[in-house]
Structure 1
Amino acid sequence: MSTSTLTSTPSTAGRVLDVEKAAALAAQHTAEADRTGTLDHAVVDALRDAGFARHFVGARRGGTEGTFAELTRAVRSLGEKCAATAWCASLAAYSARFAAHLPQAGHDVLWGESPDAFIATALMPGGRAKAVDGGWRLEGRWAYVSGIDFADWVLLCAAASGTGDSPELRFFLVPRSACTVDRTWDSIGMRASGSHTVAVAGALVPEHLSFARADLVAGRSASSDVPVHNVPFQAVGGVTFVAPIVGAATGALHAAADGVAGRRRTHAVESALVKASARIEAAGLLVGQNAEVLDERRFTPELMARNERNGAAAAELLQEALGLLIRGAGTGGLGEGNALQRFWRDVTSASSHVALQYDTAARTTYSTVLLGPAD
C-alpha cells in the first residue's frame, strides 16, 4: 500500500473541486515555495482535500469522475496564485486518469483504501523492464517527474522485454518508497514543481500494476468503461500543461495592474496591459475549446489535431503576454519581491515543455488538416 499520508475517505462521486482553500494557501506560501523549491505540506494537504487526486478516479472507487472543463477551471484558479501548485494539481489529476488503465486488481491496490492517492508520472520512456515470474523487474532513470516530493505512487514508462520478438513500451506503477530521487530540477521557473529525476534499481512490479503504453495512447482501457478513462492521448492536446500557465498569466496581469497604482499611467504601460490581456484571454479560450472537445468526446482526427495546435498556440500567446507585461512594468517589475517576475519565470519555464511546442506537438498533425497528407 502507499504511504501513511492516505486516509480512508467516504465516497464523494460527483463532488466538484473545492479550490478556494487550496488557492488561498497557495497564495500564502507561493514566495516560500519559489525560494525553497517545494510545496508546503499545508498546500499539499489542501490539494488532496480539494479533490484533485480523485477527480478522474472512478465513482466505484470513491472518485469524482469529473469533467475536463471543471478541472481546467480549477487549475487556472490555482495558477493565478501559484503556478507550481497548479502544475502539480493538474498532473495529480491526469496521472490518476493514466493509472485507470491498470487492471482492476491494480485499482484495488491503488485506490482500495482511498481515491486520494497522489501519483507522479514519467510519460517519456526512461528505463527497462524484464518479464519475470509474477510480473516485471524494473530499473532505470526518469527525468522531470513533477510532484515526486509528495507522491504516494510513481507511474513510469519503460521498454519491456521477454514477452515477444521486440520490446514493448509499458507503464509500471511503483510505490514512492521503491524510488530514489535525485534533486536535479534547477529551472529558473516552476521551482516548486519538484520535477526531479527518479531512479529505480531492480524493483519487482506485479503484473496487475502494469499496462501497455499503446492502450493509453489509443484511449482504450480494458479495465474501465468510465468515459474519461477512454480518451485518446492526442486529444488532450497539452491542456494538462498549459492550463496552469493560463492561470499564472492571469495572475501576472493582476500583478502588473497593481504595480501601476501609485505611479504615472503612461500610454505605453496602458497599451502593454491591454495587449497582454487580449493574449491571455485568447489563450484561455483555446484551452476551454480543448476541454469542450474532451468532455463532448468529439475525437475526430481534425479536432484532436486542433487540440494539439491550440495547446502550442496558447503557450505562445502567454509568452508574448508576459513579455509585454515585463516590458511595461520596467525595472521595478523584475524586483526580487515582485510577483510579476515570478509569474514571468514560471510561464517561461512551463511553456518550454515539449507538449507545448508546435514542431513536436502540432506541426505534422494540423498541417495535414490544412494541407492534406504530405507526398
Structure 2
Amino acid sequence: MQKLTTRHPAGRPAPSGAPHAFAGAVTLADAGAEAADRDRSLSALTVEALTGAGFARHFVPRRWGGTEGGFAELLARAAELGEASASAAWCAMLWAAHGRFATRLPEQAQQELWAAGPDVRLSAALAPPSGRVERRPDGWLLDGNWHCVSGALHADWFLLAVPGTEPGGGEALVLAVPAERLTVSRTWHAPGLRGTGSDSVAATGVVVPAHRAVPLAELLAARPEASSRGGQAPALLGGGLLFCAPALGAARRALRAWTAEATAARPGRESELARAADARLALARSAGEIEAAELLLRQAAERADHGPLDAQTVGRNQRDAAVGLDLLVTAVERLVRSGGVHTRSGADGVLDRAWRDLHTAASHAALRLQSAADAWALTLVS
C-alpha cells in the first residue's frame, strides 16, 4: 500500500497555453509510453508535463484561473496525445473531465480546491458508489474501497461516490477528499491502458466536511444556469466521446505502424502492400473506419459544445461514441489479423499496445454499444 502525500498546485509553473507546452508533453508521453506500459503508471515527469499543458485546468472556471475550455478542443488534444500514449491521454482527459464535475461542488469546496491555482489533478470513482458514510455533526465519516481509479498515484484530490444513508439506499453522494487522507493500492493489472495506474483507493475513518459533499445526481445532471458550457452540460453529453479520444489516437498510431510495416520493402521481395490485394483491402477499410469514427466523434463534440441539452442529444452522443469506438476496435483488429505476428511485434510493439489499449477502453461501461443503443433509441419513443 502506498500513502499519498500532499501536492502543492500553487508551486507548479502555470501553463503558458503556448503550443510548445502541449508539444513537449506529447514528446515526453511518447518517449515514456513503453515504460508506462511496463510500470503500470505514468512517470512523474510526464504527469507534470501534462499538467503544464493545461489539461487539469481545462474545464475549471476562469474565476479560479481555469480555461473554461470546450469539448471539441479537449477531444482533439487528447486524441493527438493518444497517438503518443493512450494511457497518458486517458489520464489527462480524465483530469480535465473531473475538473468539470468539481464545478458542481459547493462554493467553499471549490475554493479549497482551486484557491491556490487551477492545476489540481482530480481522480474519481463515481460508478458504482462504494464504501459507506455516517453522518456526523461536522460532516461525514468515510470508510471504504474504490477500484479502477485512473491516475490515482498522481491525484491531488479525489471525488468518491458513496451510497446513500437513508433506509432503502437513499441518494448517493460524491465526496471531495484530499489525496493525503487516502491510501492507494497497486491493483491495476488490465491487459491495456496499463499506464493509467487505475489502482484502488481506500479510506479509513476519514472525516469529510459537509461542504465537500454533493448529490451524485446533481453532479451528473445538466445545469443550464452555469456560466460555461462545460458547467452546463450533463455528464453523459460529453463523457463517452471523451473516453474515445485516447482510443482514436491509439488507432491512428496503429494505422501508421501497420502501414510502415506493410510498405517496407525487403531484399528480393516487394512490400506486403505492393504484392498482396488483401493487405490493400485491409488498409482501405481500416483507414476509412478510423476516419469515419473521427467524424462521428467530432460531430458529437460539436453537439456537446453547442447543441441542445436535451435527452435526444445526449442519447445521440452516447450512440456515436459507442459506434465510433466499435469502428476503431474493428479497424485495428483487422490490421492485427491481416498483418500477422511479425506486424504486432514490430514497430517497437506499438501495434500490439494499441490493440490492447483499444480493447480495454471498449470494456468501459460508458462505451458499451448495447447500453448506448438503448439510451438513444428510447429517447425516440418516450
Letter aligned with residue 146 of structure 2: W
1:54 aligns to what SS in structure 2? coil
2:90 maps to 87
Which of 161, 165, 170 is the matching residue for 1:161? 165
Give the whole-Å Cα distance in 2 for the aligned partners of 1:354 and 1:111: 30
**Contact 1:17/1:55, CA 8 A, preserved across alignment:** no
1:304 maps to 314
1:81-102 Cα distance to aligned partner (Å, 9 max, x none) = 1100000000000011011111
1:283-315 Cα distance to aligned partner (Å, 9 max, x none) = 111111111011104222221110010111011
Give the whole-Å Cα distance in 1 for the aligned partners of 2:19 and 2:219: 25
**Contact 1:215/1:221, CA 8 A, preserved across alignment:** no
1:119 maps to 122
2:292 aligns to what SS in structure 1? helix
1:338 aligns to what SS in structure 2? helix
- Residue 71 in 1 paired to residue 74 in 2? yes
1:202-238 Cα distance to aligned partner (Å, 9 max, x none) = 210111211111112222388x533321211221251
2:197 maps to 194
1:122-271 equivalences under 5 Å are 122-124=125-127, 125-161=129-165, 167-220=170-223, 225-260=227-262, 261-263=264-266, 264=271, 265=273, 266-271=276-281
Unaligned runs of 5+ in 1: none
Give the whole-Å Cα distance in 2 for the aligned partners of 1:165 and 1:189: 37
1:289 maps to 299
Deviation at 1:69, TM superposition (A): 0.6
**Contact 1:13/1:65, CA 8 A, preserved across alignment:** no
Give the whole-Å Cα distance in 2 for the aligned partners of 1:122 and 1:7: 25
**Contact 2:344/2:351, CA 8 A, preserved across alignment:** yes
1:61 maps to 64
Give the whole-Å Cα distance in 1 for the aligned partners of 2:121 and 2:379: 37
**Contact 1:137/1:202, CA 8 A, preserved across alignment:** yes
CA RMSD of aligned residues (A): 2.2
After superposition, the Cα gap between the structure-2 partners of 1:39 and 1:13, relative to the gap in structure 1 and judged at 3 Å, is: closer
**Contact 2:307/2:313, CA 8 A, preserved across alignment:** no
After superposition, the Cα gap between the structure-2 partners of 1:149 and 1:100, relative to the gap in structure 1 and judged at 3 Å, is: same
After superposition, the Cα gap between the structure-2 partners of 1:208 and 1:11, relative to the gap in structure 1 and judged at 3 Å, is: farther
2:163 aligns to what SS in structure 1? strand
TM-score of the superposition, structure 2-length normalised? 0.91
2:190 aligns to what SS in structure 1? coil
2:361 maps to 350
Give the whole-Å Cα distance in 2 for the aligned partners of 1:108 and 1:285: 38
**Contact 1:171/1:213, CA 8 A, preserved across alignment:** yes
Give the whole-Å Cα distance in 1 for the aligned partners of 2:86 and 2:66: 25
Unaligned runs of 5+ in 2: none
Which of 99, 106, 110 is the matching residue for 1:107? 110
